[in-house]
Amino acid sequence: MKPCRFQLALSALAALTAFEARAEVEGSVAIVSDYLFRGVTQTDGEPAIQGGVQYGHPGGFYIGVWGSSISWLADADPEVSSQVELDGYLGFAGEFGASGIGYDVGAVRYAYPGSYPPGFEDPDTTELYAGLSWGAFGAKYSHAVTDLFGLPDSDGSGHLELTAAWEFAPAWTLDGAVGRQWVSGHSGADYTHWKVGVTRAFDNGFELAAAWIDTDLDGGDDAVVVSATKGF
């Protein structure tokens, strides 16, 4: 006998409830002394407030949003009203069997809502990314499918970052990263950036971190950045 519509509805509801039970929503809020993205300040050396939330499923799919206060657009042109970066992303992460090698692929949209004067280049940027991880080490490549943060004719730009993290004592982690930004159509704008930092995690989801960040850009943003983050 075929199930009635009521039975089908109950089955669908049960399946959805089971999916939700396995899914996980997590987020964080943070205060940083300076917001540096790929080694370049987004707040002219001033503090920023940041936060995000992510919905993930054990099957590997995730989707999230993250935001930060910024000033670089208004610094470039006082007629720009945008003071916020708002990123939306989705992806899929997992592991190659029992190899211990993880993978992560997805897409991210960097958006800067606000008003802009006529002729101002649209800074909104979309990137596709793919990453690998093994133990304490990671590598991630990002490829821009739009112009890169308002730079004309720069679609196809790429960014590679290598990371490492070492828990040298319970709740203490030493981490480092080195990255290379290639700007399509503007070879003179290519640069390398690096970071060395330490993080102290607490049982209540609170973290304190400090990092030294620099680039090989002329007049680059050499900075020591401290942050306080609360996860939930």
pLDDT in tens, 49-98: 999 999 999 999 999 999 999 999 999 999 999 999 999 999 999 999 88
Q: Is the pLDDT of residue 8 over 90?
A: no
Per DSSP, 19 falls in state H
Cα–Cα nearest to 27, from 3, 49, 52 = 52
Q: Is the pLDDT of residue 43 over 90?
A: yes
CATH of domain 22-231: 2.40.160.40
Residues near 136 by Cβ (< 8 Å), separated by ≥ 6? 164, 165, 166
* Stretch 205-218: mean pLDDT: 96
Give dist(CA 41, CA 38) in Å, integer: 8
Q: Are strands 125-134 and 101-111 parallel, antiparallel or unpaired?
A: antiparallel
What's the angle, vertex CA 190, arms to CA 91 and CA 47, rounded to 5? 65
pLDDT in tens, 194-211: 999 999 999 999 999 999
Mean pLDDT of the chain: 91
User: Are the C-beta atoms of 204 and 11 separated by less than 8 Å?
Assistant: no
pLDDT at 3: 45
Confidence class for position 221, pLDDT limits 50, 70, 90: low
